[in-house]
Structure 1
Amino acid sequence: MSKTFESSSELNSDYSLTEQQISSYQENGHVYLKNVASKEEIAEYEPIITDWVLKLNYHDKPVSERDTYGKAFIQIGNLWEKSEACRRFTLARRFGKIAAELMGVDGVRIYHDQALFKEPGGGHTPWHQDQIYWPLDTSNTITMWMPLVPIPQEVGTMTFANGTHKLGYVNKQEISDESHKTLAQYIEAKQFPTVNYGAMSVGDATFHAGWTMHCAPGNPTDNMRKVMTIIYVADGTRIAEPDSKARESDLRSWLPGCKPGDLAASPLNPLVYSNKI
């Protein structure tokens, strides 16, 4: 652990959701919320998260020489294990309570966090469904996607396909050129409306369901697009039998020591909110 982190914000105060926001999420599979964290709060955490991302960046080739997935972002998981500050951010009660209330469940555990930093000149993030990677026997999963820097229109945020979270598996293609083509054709053929929330401010957030189809544009600017994401799963969820190499890998990485049928509650999956406590 790093040295003691002095913070004026524990990120534990409540964020009040409206019934319309909850119903919109449940109908469409995504929602955009303003000021989930204040600019002052993010100003405390952003430099520390950025420092860890750059320290742990595994890319050893220029963006132009990577494959589509590699061009999309620097992806660093479970930062909450690295420092006290990252731990406070990822395990924040405020964020977990929002996730639980949007899904309509009693409590949530962390599946894992991910910093997703799209470099200057970084490529697009292809259409995909997150949950093809997750060996979880539930549809009650949700990801918070929060900018740590302002995201202008020209950089762009995610585009979501409304209602696709209700479909479950559509195909098992991992994030790739193939997933982008296949799902784009599917969305167009089925005439699912798509939504992009445009520019986003520091501390705003989108929340989307694990099965919601989504993509993101590339970064044509000279500035790093810094985003922190946290994936939540409903407390009480059990682990599904992995049916792909991706899910076998996730089981080892994010649910260590667990096996199919067990509760998704390893030491890496702490309970961050429960309305019963």
Structure 2
Amino acid sequence: MERCMITQTQIADYQRDGAIVVRGLFKEWLPLMEEGVAQNMAEPGEYASENAVTQGRFFDDYCNWTRIPAFEKIVRESPAAELVARAMQSRSAQFFHDHVLVKEPGTPKPTPWHQDAPYYFVTGEQTASIWMPLDPVRDASLRLIAGSHKWDKMVRPVSWADDSDFYDKGDWTPVPDPDAHPDDMRVLEWEMEPGDAVLFDFRTVHGARGNTAQARRRALSLRWVGDDARYVERPGRTSPPFPGHGMQGGERLREDWFPMIARDVT
């Protein structure tokens, strides 16, 4: 593997489509990922959710890296920070938060189509999530709408539990249904092995099917921001909320809460 870990073609694809897949880069980090996810599920944090499923189990939780050593080691020492900085075309990569998502076998509930950006108090064109499965994924892989990070309006954020509005107000575009309009939207979707990763912009519309397989689907996602990311006010409590952060509109995220992991990436 080349030191840069990502080709110029992949960077161009990321800028054009808002998402790419990178193969095998995190294979040696899988034991730590498994350790961290197991601890997270055994000791859920304050934001843990079961997502109101009536069949199977869809667990997710976030913002646990400061209390789960395996996650902190991955954040600080894995190739993730340099990888996203290059994809974002940013000189820096600042860590935003971790997110664990687990769909047990026989869980038909899909992850609804959404953008992450409306839920966050971050604005900017240099953002990236890394979605890393701990298990082979086929039909339950991440699905992303190519080019949606360049849409004029962001997609209406909704509650995953009941599809209700996440905020009381806002100027949003309706939640899309690319399966109903396959000629209008190009969906990116990859079969993946443990160690692979999908990188996608916070503004890229994405979702996932339910897990009808006989094996669980565990994934760890790490969220990052780059040089141009700034704090922005939203019309209500964001997710994650980070209460008491004290930041004002237009400011960079405070580094004591959101550490700068990569600097001066060229």
With the length of structure 2 as denominator, give the TM-score of the two structures: 0.83
Structure 1 residues 193 and 274, CA, compared in 2 at 3 Å: closer, same or farther?
same
Match for residue 155 of structure 2? Answer: 171
Match for residue 189 of structure 2? Answer: 196
Match for residue 108 of structure 1? Answer: 93
Q: Over the residues paired in the alignment, what is the CA RMSD in angstroms?
A: 3.0
Q: Distance in 1 between matches of 2:50 and 2:122?
A: 33
Structure 1 residues 193 and 175, CA, compared in 2 at 3 Å: closer, same or farther?
farther
Unpaired runs of 5+ residues, structure 1, are 1-12, 66-70
Contact 1:159 1:214 in 2 (8 A): yes
Deviations 1:165-206 (A, max 9, x none): 111533333254479x83116983881211211x21111000
Aligned length: 253
Match for residue 252 of structure 1? Answer: 242
Q: Distance in 2 between matches of 1:85 and 1:99?
A: 20
Q: Distance in 1 between matches of 2:207 and 2:62?
A: 19
Aligned pairs (5 A) from 1:262-277: 262-275=251-264
Residue 14 of structure 1: how far off its partner (Å): 4.2
> Secondary structure of 1:264's partner?
coil
Alignment partner of 1:76 is 2:61: yes
Match for residue 211 of structure 2? Answer: 219
Q: Distance in 1 between matches of 2:127 and 2:11?
A: 15
Q: Distance in 1 between matches of 2:246 and 2:200?
A: 28
Q: Distance in 2 between matches of 1:96 and 1:16?
A: 11
Match for residue 124 of structure 1? Answer: 110
Give the letter aligned to residue 48 of structure 1.
G
Alignment partner of 1:209 is 2:201: yes
Deviations 1:48-68 (A, max 9, x none): 322222321755798317xxx
Contact 2:36 2:69 in 1 (8 A): no
> Secondary structure of 1:120's partner?
coil
Residue 274 of structure 1: how far off its partner (Å): 1.2
Match for residue 162 of structure 1? Answer: 146
Alignment partner of 1:135 is 2:126: no
Contact 1:146 1:229 in 2 (8 A): yes
Deviations 1:224-266 (A, max 9, x none): 2110000101145321122x2243x54534x823232322124
Q: Distance in 2 between matches of 1:166 and 1:61?
A: 29
Q: Distance in 2 between matches of 1:61 and 1:262?
A: 33
Give the letter aligned to residue 14 of structure 2.
Y
Q: Distance in 2 between matches of 1:246 and 1:189?
A: 34
Alignment partner of 1:29 is 2:29: no
Give the letter aligned to residue 80 of structure 1.
W
Structure 1 residues 119 and 189, CA, compared in 2 at 3 Å: closer, same or farther?
closer
Aligned pairs (5 A) from 1:34-53: 34-38=23-27, 40-53=28-41
